[in-house]
């Protein structure tokens, strides 16, 4: 903070507070209006927010955005992160988030529910993305699936079913290989720099393919946060469950690879989280199913 805002070591608390307030207010003014409001209110930079407790300031942001408190908090956190990146960039001359300058987009938050106690496995995915580009209109996602029995090169298997529930439109789908499905998704609105966009997608297996005994996120581009929730079938609970945290895809089902033994709760559910995922490494859960 002293380096970024040029705070002298001899400055008293009042001087520090004044300089920080001015510096943060200038940075906040460079953000899009909604993020600027969220950050300014959370940090009590505006006059009408200074007399409020933090919880009240979050409620004020939620009211302005017409969202609940949790969404408002996430919006504030995203704004603060961007604010910090801008401040560091101004000091160092680097571009914001220069760790991954080649990524056309990245995931700020991925929340996934894997439901295994229904007739067919279903996966629900809520993904929030940002871009360093001036404008992004579509992005490409992919999912890896097991090879169906009797599959032959060149045959088409439209499984799993991919449905975009909100945030965009599925435009093209390509079985890139026997195990990898790639699809292009047109965003509902063009995504511009410093903003976030949320996608809600469902994958449903109908029988042509079956899920393997693991679920992982292997991001192509940076992913800041990944929360995974798996609900197992209580009639066929797994014998063992492991958490894998940053393995090569080929090592996910390898008994010799490092992994953490975990357990499901009384509802047969597993919840786990990962932060700052490295591109092309796998994070998730693998299990041993009863025969």
Tens-of-pLDDT digits for all 291 residues of the chain? Answer: 777 777 877 878 888 888 888 888 888 888 777 778 888 999 988 777 776 788 888 888 888 877 778 778 877 887 888 888 888 877 776 555 544 445 789 999 999 999 999 888 999 999 999 988 888 999 989 888 776 566 565 555 677 889 999 999 998 888 767 778 888 999 999 998 878 899 999 999 877 777 889 999 999 888 999 999 999 998 888 999 999 998 888 889 888 888 999 999 999 999 999 998 888 889 999 999 876
What pLDDT, on a 0 to 100 scale, did the predictor assign at position 148? 59
- The residues, any chain, with a CB within 8 Å of residue 59's CB and separated by 6 or more, are 69, 72
Cα separation values, 134 from 34, 137, 178, 263, Å: 18, 10, 35, 45
Query: Residue 93 is encoded by which pair of tokens?
Result: 């001359």
pTM higher than the cut 0.85? no
User: What is the model's pLDDT at position 95?
Assistant: 55
In this predicted structure, what is the pLDDT of residue 45? 87
Of 134, 111, 83, the closest CA to residue 201 belongs to 111
* Cβ proximity of 72 and 62 under 8 Å: yes
In the structure encoding, which two tokens stand for residue 43, read together? 């940090």
Closest C-alpha to 288, from 248, 234, 241: 241
What structural domains and CATH numbers belong to the chain?
Answer: 2-92 (no CATH), 106-288 (2.60.40)
Q: What is the pLDDT of residue 125?
A: 97
């Amino acid at each position: 903070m002293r380096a970024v805002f040029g705070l002298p070591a001899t400055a008293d608390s009042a001087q520090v507070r004044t300089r920080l307030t001015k510096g943060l207010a200038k940075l906040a003014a460079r953000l899009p209006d909604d993020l600027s409001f969220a950050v300014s209110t959370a940090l009590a930079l505006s006059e009408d927010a200074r007399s409020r407790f933090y919880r009240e300031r979050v409620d004020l942001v939620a009211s302005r955005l017409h969202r609940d408190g949790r969404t408002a908090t996430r919006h504030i956190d995203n704004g603060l992160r961007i604010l910090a990146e801008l401040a560091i960039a101004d000091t160092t001359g680097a571009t914001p988030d220069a760790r991954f300058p080649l990524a056309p987009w990245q995931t700020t938050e991925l929340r996934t529910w894997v439901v295994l106690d229904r007739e067919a496995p279903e996966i629900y995915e809520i993904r929030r993305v940002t871009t360093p580009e001036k404008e992004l209109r579509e992005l490409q996602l992919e999912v890896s699936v097991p090879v169906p029995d009797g599959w032959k090169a060149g045959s088409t298997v439209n499984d799993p079913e991919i449905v975009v529930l909100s945030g965009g439109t599925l435009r093209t789908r390509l079985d890139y290989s026997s195990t990898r499905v790639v699809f292009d998704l047109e965003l509902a609105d063009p995504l511009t720099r410093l903003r976030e966009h949320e996608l809600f997608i469902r994958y449903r297996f109908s029988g042509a393919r079956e899920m393997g005994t693991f679920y992982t996120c292997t991001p192509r581009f940076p992913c800041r946060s990944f929360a995974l929730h798996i609900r197992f079938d209580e009639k066929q609970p797994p014998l063992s469950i492991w958490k894998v945290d940053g393995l090569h895809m080929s090592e996910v089902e390898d008994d010799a690879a490092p992994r953490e033994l975990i357990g499901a709760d009384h509802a047969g559910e597993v919840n786990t989280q990962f932060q700052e995922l490295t591109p092309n490494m796998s994070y998730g859960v693998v299990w041993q199913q009863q025969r």
